[in-house]
Structure 1
Amino acid sequence: MTAKTARTTDRRAAKPGEKPARREHDMVTLGIAFAAIILFVGTAGVVLPNLIDAWQGEAASLDAALTNALLLNIALILLGWHRYKALTEELKSRRASEEEARRLADIDHLTGCYNRRSFTAALGDLLTHLERREQALAAIAVDLDNFKQVNDLHGHQAGDEVLRNTAARIQRLLPDGGILARLGGDEFICVVPYHPKVPDRVDQLATRMIEHVARPVEYGDTPVDVTMSIGIASSTQMENARDGEDAAERLMHKSDIAMYHAKKQGKNRFYWFEPQMENELRFRNELEAGIRRGIANGEFRPYYEQQIDLESGKLVGFEMLARWESPEMGVVGPDIFIPIAEEIGVIGEMSEALIACAFEDAKEWDAELTLSVNISPVQMRDPWFAQKLLKLLVRHNFPACRLDIEITESCLHENVGMVRSMISSLRNQGVRVSLDDFGTGYSSLSQLRSLPFDRLKIDRAFISELKQEEHGEKLVDAILTMSDGLNLPVTAEGIENEVVLETLKRMGKMKGQGYHYGRPEPAGMVLERLGRQDLLAKDRHSNITKVDFTATEKRQGGDKRAG
């Protein structure tokens, strides 16, 4: 017996806190009882015949010593029996307590389902004894959509009620042999047997689960709406499916990957696991790690897209666009890394570093050129964003009047009051604020009138329609008419050819940007462009001229000496 086994056996043999003296006392009592039985057998063989003869008058008086010994033996036997019964009841109670403790360790106290540990063990047993040709197992991972909002809006008691109802509704739908577990939070998982040739049965079960769980949960007088995303993985997709708990963990992981794919595709739906999902998740994890490293190593750099006054054709400013100069993947566009940076909570750090770099770059441009910067909706949720931006302006000594921040319409629906306060704070310091991607969101005229915007930017989707669709011109014209009524100047995004440019020129005065004027460029190429157009900052232009003149003199002097 090992030391660990000995300790375990000792714990099972004694109650917690039981003293060794008490166990020794029990052993002594048991020994006395056995000795009393042995003495009873010996003394009873002598005393009982004498007692019978005495009652019948055939013998003299009883032997008092033997009689007392017999009575003492009887008392000791009764004492031992009583102690034996007490010990038996104690052991029975202890076993019941241990069984209850094991049961509580195997279930989730809130919903009564299995917990992760017990479910993994149960699934491992099912996989170990699975007849693969005749039966398969489907692991179904379930996650409630936007469950955090339930707790935030209605309180944690309402959240607990939703979890209990969800577990009960799923449990009622499970077929014979199905097992349900709550893994933690709002995550559930169940396993159901099915015939591998009839996977539609599992599809039907997942559909019913989505329909039944989507019904509102009544909490007090308030109905709480809930939807769910489901991922399904089959034991037929497993290699070495009979590896017990290791196989169970792998199967659960595959169903979890499919569930997250369902969330990514819009929530309130189900997907079966496919191998490319795992590859996508692995790539996503690599991207997340790469983004964090890239921020620390300064791999995110500002690129600049020209903004042109359409009437005069003059360069009036640049919009700063983020690019990731990754050592492994090359130059990566913002459509890849910005959504991930927002999800993992590093968009603020990334954006502030890019803006600071852009301020330093723009200080080398002509003072009349403006700098436009896109602001993420996630940043607009930070009540200190305006103060952070103003501190950056002061730290880099960049004129606020040259900065134009661009926010999207989606920002207006989350907290209009806070957005209005931020815009007002920035405008009071001279920063201009534009409404970006206008026409793609749900901003109303009342919001446009109440929020102090300086400019509207027409989304590129409307501008691109000008080259082929007649109604596209009508939409843009309508936006321009509205902007005139609101006294807001306009910037058109996505100008890609001369046809679109000429159409916009006929519509009125505005700024424009797009690939027709060139692709976004890094800071070095921008300086070369501005140098050719004599649009560098005056002090920089003087320094460049002086350096060029000195270099020319040196070359001429060298030529003379060589002659």
Structure 2
Amino acid sequence: MRALQGTSAGPDVALTNALLLNVALILLGWQRYKALNSELEVTRMSEEEARRLSEIDDLTGCLNRRSFAEALGELLLSGKSEDRAFAAIAIDLDNFKQVNDLNGHAAGDLVLRTAAKRIRSLLPDGSSLARLGGDEFVCVVPYHPSSPERIDHLATRMVEQFAMPVINDGVVLEVTISIGVASSNLLEVGTEDESGEDAAQNLMHKADIAMYHAKKQGKNRFYWFEPNMESELRFRNELEAGIRRGIQNGEFVPYYEQQVDLETGDVVGFEMLARWESPELGMVGPDIFIPIAEEMGVIAELSEGLIERAFEDAREWHPDITLSVNISPVQMRDPWFAQKLLKLLVKHRFPANRLDIEITETCLHENIGMVRSMITSLRNQGVKVSLDDFGTGYSSLSQLRSLPFDQLKIDRSFISELKNEDQSDKLVDAIVSMGDGLKMPITAEGIEDEKVLNALKRWGKMRGQGYFYGKPEPASAVTKRLAAAGRLASSNPEGVVDITEAMPGDRDGEDKKTGSGKAAG
């Protein structure tokens, strides 16, 4: 500075260069420091974003399963007290798969986002919401143990919220929910046997069980967890595993109930009924395993196996004796059902005109067009089709006239009341008169005593079945019964008809009954 003012000689070059070098190093170091700080901040933000994304469901913004379980475990460990409890609420959208299938995944995503928004809007402070995957949500809500009605009110409001439809591009999407609730008071949190994470999983599991119970009871409702629900679910899982093993091991067998001509008393047919000869459970009735097999999606495999065995059994009977088989509504949703049944007839060379399939009125309301096509195809090949349990559903006269049924079966609930001589005889009289008008023969189910039998005889010719004629029997007992009456195929060889004449088509592919090789379905 003195040199610049002219009061001193010029600066020392070495010292000047050293000073400038130090200044440059300081500036370079400061710049590098700022760059490192920026890099660290970006890295920190990236890590936080990655951690957030690992904990959050991207579609709905809710917590995911892993992060919710961790948070719930910590909450249960830290929040345990006499005046505070937590309710885990499991929420599942009813029929969500149908929304996706009919309207596309974009509509399904909209429903999920709307569901999360509606649930979140109802939750009180201190609550957490997670999407566990698919269409299942779970939330945890603090409440006072003496006021569980607050949770009841919250669950009720959730059900009401979902009564409002979701609109997607002008299309109304109807979705309901099933809810299960479990209280942390059921847990022993913090003990050696149950850590916070274990307690969280346990509580979520109990809420899930209560939610599945709500679905089983008809959906669009909520239930609190009760210990017996867990026992029922465990038994249900054991039944499902047993059914799968039973199908593979041939434990499901056909039993046969006699169908009798009420005028002559002769056996004219048998209805095949399913029984499960379980090594663990003993003899199990169809009212237990049929609904479960339908829900599992194995009813077609189970039914086809029984039908094959029934065809082999019935080939030993007199050719005038028919075989009736009940068909599940689930099977009637299969567009290839008629072809499968006709293929079994050909495989076992069983005459089509001896087979009578029975369908319930429930089938008529799901897809009337496909049902009509199946019935027509089967009847074209000689198979008879009966409307089972008539009077318990909602079939109309127009449906009965348009669908080509061969006969009506009056439900046992009407027949059993005939002994009381009340209004039921008028109902039966109306059904019989309608059958006469439509030219459909009648079969009466549930004949249990002679009084009911005599009451039915006054309506003229019809078939009947029930415990009055004997309980359902295995194939061996039926063979003995028919052998004693001389009604086996081997005991009347001259009356046996060549079964190829009654098959859907002969070896050359020509249909001798219809004159055409019509395809079923």
TM > 0.5: yes
Cα deviation for residue 539 of structure 1 reads 5.6
Q: Which runs of structure 2 are paired with 1:318-337 in the superposition (5 Å)?
A: 318-337=270-289
Q: Which runs of structure 2 are paired with 1:353-392 in the superposition (5 Å)?
A: 353-392=305-344
Cα deviation for residue 155 of structure 1 reads 2.4
The more displaced of 80-89 and 247-256 is 80-89
Task: State yes or no: 1:304 paired with 2:256.
Answer: yes
**2:458 aligned counterpart, secondary structure:** helix
Larger RCO (alpha carbons 8 Å, 6+ apart): 2
TM-score (norm 1): 0.85
Task: State yes or no: 1:419 paired with 2:371.
Answer: yes
Cα deviation for residue 321 of structure 1 reads 0.3
Q: Which runs of structure 2 are paired with 1:147-166 in the superposition (5 Å)?
A: 147-166=96-115
Counterpart in the other structure of 2:425: 473
Distance 2:149 2:159 in 1: 15
Counterpart in the other structure of 2:40: 91
Amino acid corresponding to residue 68 of structure 2 in structure 1: F
**2:258 aligned counterpart, secondary structure:** strand
**1:437 aligned counterpart, secondary structure:** strand
Task: State yes or no: 1:401 paired with 2:350.
Answer: no
The correspondence for 1:196, drawn from 138, 142, 145, is 145
Deviations 1:203-252 (A, max 9, x none): 11111111112111222323322211110000001123672111101100
Deviations 1:444-495 (A, max 9, x none): 1111111111111111111112122511111111111111110000101111
As a proportion of its length, which structure holds more helix? 1
Task: State yes or no: 1:439 paired with 2:391.
Answer: yes
The correspondence for 2:380, drawn from 422, 428, 443, is 428
Distance 1:468 1:398 in 2: 42
State the identity %. 72
Counterpart in the other structure of 1:37: none
Residues 463 and 288 of structure 1, relative CA distance in 2, 3 Å threshold: same
Q: Which runs of structure 2 are paired with 1:11-30 in the superposition (5 Å)?
A: none
Amino acid corresponding to residue 56 of structure 2 in structure 1: I
Counterpart in the other structure of 2:502: none
Counterpart in the other structure of 2:224: 272
Distance 1:204 1:158 in 2: 29
Aligned residues of 2:73 and 2:198 also touching (Cα < 8 A): yes
Cα deviation for residue 141 of structure 1 reads 0.4
**Unaligned ranges ≥5, structure 2:** 495-521
TM-score (norm 2): 0.92
Cα deviation for residue 291 of structure 1 reads 0.4
Task: State yes or no: 1:172 paired with 2:172.
Answer: no
Task: State yes or no: 1:338 paired with 2:295.
Answer: no
**1:507 aligned counterpart, secondary structure:** coil
**Structure of larger gyration radius:** 1
Aligned residues of 2:189 and 2:196 also touching (Cα < 8 A): no
**Unaligned ranges ≥5, structure 1:** 1-51, 543-563
Cα deviation for residue 61 of structure 1 reads 2.4
Cα deviation for residue 81 of structure 1 reads 1.0
**2:164 aligned counterpart, secondary structure:** coil
Paired positions, count: 491
Q: Which runs of structure 2 are paired with 1:70-85 in the superposition (5 Å)?
A: 70-85=19-34
Aligned residues of 1:257 and 1:277 also touching (Cα < 8 A): yes
Counterpart in the other structure of 1:253: 205
Amino acid corresponding to residue 209 of structure 2 in structure 1: I
RMSD across aligned C-alpha pairs, in angstroms?
1.5
Distance 1:398 1:411 in 2: 26
Amino acid corresponding to residue 431 of structure 2 in structure 1: I
Aligned residues of 1:170 and 1:213 also touching (Cα < 8 A): no
Amino acid corresponding to residue 189 of structure 1 in structure 2: V
**2:125 aligned counterpart, secondary structure:** coil
The correspondence for 2:413, drawn from 453, 461, 464, is 461
Cα deviation for residue 277 of structure 1 reads 0.3
Cα deviation for residue 351 of structure 1 reads 0.8
Deviations 1:283-332 (A, max 9, x none): 00000000000011110000000000011111101000000001111111
Counterpart in the other structure of 1:216: 165
Cα deviation for residue 541 of structure 1 reads 8.3
